[in-house]
Chains A and B, each alone.
Chain A
Amino acid sequence: MPTIGINELKPGVIVAEAVVSRDGRVLLAAGGKVEARHVALFKGLGVSGVVAAGGAGGAHDEAAAGYVRDYFVFLNPDSPVVNELFSYAAQAVARRMESGWTLPSLAERRAENVEHLSDVLPMETADPDKIVDHEVQLASFPDVYFKLRQEMDSPTGSVQSLAEIITRDVSLTAKLLKLANSPIYSLPEPVESIARAIAVIGTNELSTLALGVSTINYFKGIPKELIDMAAFWRHSVSCAIFAHILAKALGEQNTERFFIAGLLHDVGRLILFKEMPYASSEALLHARENSLPIVEAERAMLGFTHTDLGRSLLARWDFPPQITVLVNQHHDPMSAPSPREAAIVHLADFFANVAGVAAGWLYVLPPLDEKAWELTGLPPSSARRVMSDFESQAEKTFSAFF
C-alpha cells in the first residue's frame, strides 16, 4: 500500500487508513475517498501524506517497478534504505503513469547526434588540469564572484559593502531574494532587500549563498544536444535542497555551505561539456548503453571523472575549502577529512537522483555508499520523510533559479 505525499495527493484516491490530524481528529475514515476539499483541508492541517489503498493504481505497478529497477542496478537490493527509496521511486512513477505519462522510450534514452562538436584536446593528452586550464583561459569569470570573495576574506569587510556588491548584480539579487523567501528558510515575513536578508539570515550565511549562486551564469551556452540544461540545474538544485534538509536534520551549523555544495556538486560535468563535448557525449552514450552511472562511464571512458574537473576548477577559483571538499568528495564521502559532512552531499545527490527517476532522468543511479547513510544515524524509514520535506520545498525553491 503506497504512501502518497500531500503534494502528490489527488482527488479520487481511496485511503487505506484513516487520515488523522495532528491533534487526533479523524479527517477521513479508512476506505473514504479523497475529494478536492480534503486535499486543501489536509494541507491546511499539516498532514504530510496518506496511505492509499491499492486498486486503482495497481495497473501500472509492475511496469513502474520494472522501469525503476533498471535505474537501481548499481545498488544493493538488500539495503533497507535503498529499498525504501526504490519503493518511493516506483510509486512516484506509477502515479505519473496513472496521469498519462508514457515511460521514456529507448530512443529517447539515447544521446543525440553531436558530430559537429569537437573537443579542445585529444584524449591522448587530456587530463583534468589541462582541460580546466584551457577553460579558465577562455571564459571570463563573473566579476561579482571575485568581489564577494575579497569581501569575505577582508578583515574590514562590512555588511554594507557586502550588500552593495550583491545589489549591483541584478540577477544575483533576484535569485538571492527568492531563495531567502523560499521554503528553505520559511521566514515569517517576506524579505524585500539584500540588507534585510543579511540581517535575517546572517552575514556569513548570505555570503556563502551569494558566492555559490554567482557562479551559475558562468555556465551558459552549452549546446543543447549535449544535455538538457534545465534538467541539469533541476538535479543540482534538488541536490542543494536535499543537502540542506539533511544538514539540518543532522544538526549541522551553517547549512548554507551544504546547499551551495549541492548546487555546484556536478559543475565538473559542465566543464566537460564545454571543453570536451564529443568525449562527454560518448561517455553519456556509454553510460546509457551499458547501464552505467555517469560517473562510472566517465571513469571507464576518460580515465577521470567530473569530480576531478570540479576539484581543479574550484581550486582555480579559490573557492572556500569547506565547500570545495564537499563537492570533491560527493562520490567518495568516506575518504573525506570529515566523512559525516561529505556524506550529506553524497546522500543528497543520491536522493536527488531518486527523485529524478519519475521526472524522466535517463541515467542509472550512482552507487550509494551505505556507510555514509549509517553515519547519519537516521533510520531507513526516515528516507520517506526526507523525500516529503523535499517535495514540499522543491517547486518554490526551483523558481528562484528558473
Chain B
Amino acid sequence: MNTSPVTSFLLRKASAISDEEFIQLRDFIYAKCGIWIDEKRKYLIQNRFEGRVAKLGMKTFTEYLKFLQYDANRDKELPFVFELITTNETSFFRDQKQLDAFTDHILMPVLAQQRAKNRFELSIWSAGCSSGEEPYTLAMILAEKLGPELRKWRISIQGCDISLPMLAKAKSGVYSDYAFKTTPEAMRRKYFTPVEGGFKISPAVSSMVSFQHLNLNDAAAMKRLPKSQVVFCRNVIIYFDTAMRKKVVSAFYDNLQPGGYLILGHSETLHGITMAFAPKFFPGAVAYLKS
C-alpha cells in the first residue's frame, strides 16, 4: 500500500507577487485612498488582484503596476482597484442601540434648538455611505420624528463614498433582503414598496438624501461640502492607518458646526487620533462632541 502523500491540488494559482511588487501596490493604494494593507495580507491581495491582472492580459504584477502608474488610461483603472480592496458591508438600521442613542440624545435636542432659533434646517454628512443604507436610515428616523412637521424643514443628508457602483446602487434606491437584516419590519413596510428585484425606498425619504462621489483622501473636496451638525463615519476609518485617520477626522472637525457630533462605528474610537472631541457616553453608544 502506498501511504505517501499525493499532492493533487496546488495552492498557487498564478504567478507570485514579489515582496517588491506587493510594497509598490500597497503604497500605490495607500497614496490613492488612504486604505492601509499590512504585510500579512500579501497573499490576500495577490488572490484578489491576480484575476484582474490576467483579465487585462498581463503576465506579471510589475506590468500591472506600470499600467496603474503610467498608462494614458490609468485613471479608468482606479475604480477597479477600489472595488478589489473595499468592503461595502452595510444594512438599514445597523446598530440600533447606537441609532437610538443618537435619536434621543443628539437629534432631538438639535431639532429643538433649531426650532427655538426658527431655523428649520439640518445637515448631516454620511461619510463612507456604501450603498446608501446609512443615510436613508437617518432620513427614515427624521421622517419618524418630525412627522407632518417634516414639510417645514430643509433636511440635507449627504452620502459620500469612493465606490461608484455603490453610489449607483444607492441612487437607484432598490434593495434586496440582505439590506434589511437589521431592520424592523414596520420600517420596511412604511418606507419601501416592493418592486422588481427588491424594495424601493419611498420618495418622501429619498428626497432628503443626496449622494456624491468623494474620496476621503481628498482634503480639498471635503472642504467644499456644506457644514453639518452631525457627521456619521461608521466602519470606514478601520481601513485607514493612523495618519489617514488623523487627516479625515480633522476634516470632520472642520466640517462640523460648533456643538456638532461625530459618530463612529460601534467599535471605533478616537484613541490615538485626536483629543479635539469630547466623548459623550450614552447607553449603547459613544458620540464625539466638537467643543
Chain B residues 169 to 215 lying within 8 A of chain A, measured CB to CB, are 178, 181-182
CB distance from B262 to the nearest CB of A (A): 13
Check: A136 CB closer than 8 A to any chain B CB: no
- Whether the Cβ atoms of A1 and B8 lie closer than 8 Å is yes
Tell which of A2, A21, A110, A285 touches B8, judged by Cβ atoms closer than 8 Å: A2
Tell which of B2, B44, B269, B271 touches A74, judged by Cβ atoms closer than 8 Å: B44
* Interface residue count on the B side (C-beta < 8 Å): 41
Q: Which residue of A lies closest to B85 (CB)?
A: A290
- Jot down 29 A-B pairs with beta carbons below 8 A, ordered by A: A3-B2, A3-B6, A17-B1, A17-B2, A21-B1, A51-B6, A65-B9, A69-B11, A69-B47, A72-B11, A73-B43, A74-B43, A75-B43, A76-B43, A77-B43, A83-B7, A84-B7, A87-B6, A87-B7, A113-B182, A123-B266, A123-B267, A123-B286, A278-B266, A282-B265, A283-B267, A290-B87, A291-B44, A300-B238
- Whether the Cβ atoms of B87 and A289 lie closer than 8 Å is yes
- Whether the Cβ atoms of A115 and B40 lie closer than 8 Å is no
Check: B70 CB closer than 8 A to any chain A CB: no
Check: A47 CB closer than 8 A to any chain B CB: yes
Q: Is the interface of B mostly helix, strand, loop or mixed?
A: loop
Across-interface contacts of A19 in B (CB, < 8 A): 1
One digit per residue, 1 when the CB lies within 8 angstroms of any chain A CB and 0 when it does not, for chain B 1-32 equals: 11111111111110010000000000000000
One digit per residue, 1 when the CB lies within 8 angstroms of any chain B CB and 0 when it does not, for chain A 250-283 equals: 0000000000000000000000000000110011
Check: B96 CB closer than 8 A to any chain A CB: yes
- Whether the Cβ atoms of A124 and B279 lie closer than 8 Å is yes
Check: A177 CB closer than 8 A to any chain B CB: no
One digit per residue, 1 when the CB lies within 8 angstroms of any chain B CB and 0 when it does not, for chain A 106-124 equals: 0100101101001000111
Check: A91 CB closer than 8 A to any chain B CB: yes
Q: How far is the CA of A321 from the CA of B178 in the complex (A)?
A: 46
Q: Is the interface of A mostly helix, strand, loop or mixed?
A: mixed
Q: How far is the CA of A1 from the CA of B4 in the complex (A)?
A: 12
CB distance from B45 to the nearest CB of A (A): 9
- Whether the Cβ atoms of A69 and B13 lie closer than 8 Å is yes
- Whether the Cβ atoms of A279 and B267 lie closer than 8 Å is yes
- Whether the Cβ atoms of A118 and B8 lie closer than 8 Å is no
- Whether the Cβ atoms of B7 and A301 lie closer than 8 Å is no
CB distance from A321 to the nearest CB of B (A): 29
Q: Which residue of A lies closest to B280 (CB)?
A: A124
Check: A82 CB closer than 8 A to any chain B CB: yes
Across-interface contacts of A124 in B (CB, < 8 A): 269, 271, 279, 281, 286
Check: A61 CB closer than 8 A to any chain B CB: yes
Which of B's residues lie within 8 Å of A, judged by CB? 1-13, 16, 40-41, 43-44, 47, 87, 89, 93, 95-97, 178, 181-182, 238, 265-269, 271, 279, 281, 283-286
Indicate whether A384 sits within 8 Å of B269 (C-beta atoms), given known contacts A75-B11, A301-B238: no
- Whether the Cβ atoms of A83 and B11 lie closer than 8 Å is yes
- Whether the Cβ atoms of A77 and B11 lie closer than 8 Å is yes
- Whether the Cβ atoms of B266 and A384 lie closer than 8 Å is no
Q: How far is the CA of A112 from the CA of B267 in the complex (A)?
A: 18
Tell which of B3, B9, B13 touches A87, judged by Cβ atoms closer than 8 Å: B9
Q: Which residue of A lies closest to B10 (CB)?
A: A83
Q: How far is the CA of A20 from the CA of B283 in the complex (A)?
A: 68
The 10 closest A-B pairs by CB, nearest first: A77-B12, A73-B44, A20-B1, A77-B11, A90-B9, A86-B11, A289-B89, A87-B9, A384-B5, A381-B5
One digit per residue, 1 when the CB lies within 8 angstroms of any chain B CB and 0 when it does not, for chain A 293-305 equals: 0001000111100
Check: A167 CB closer than 8 A to any chain B CB: no
Indicate whether A78 sits within 8 Å of B9 (C-beta atoms), given known contacts A124-B286, A283-B267: no
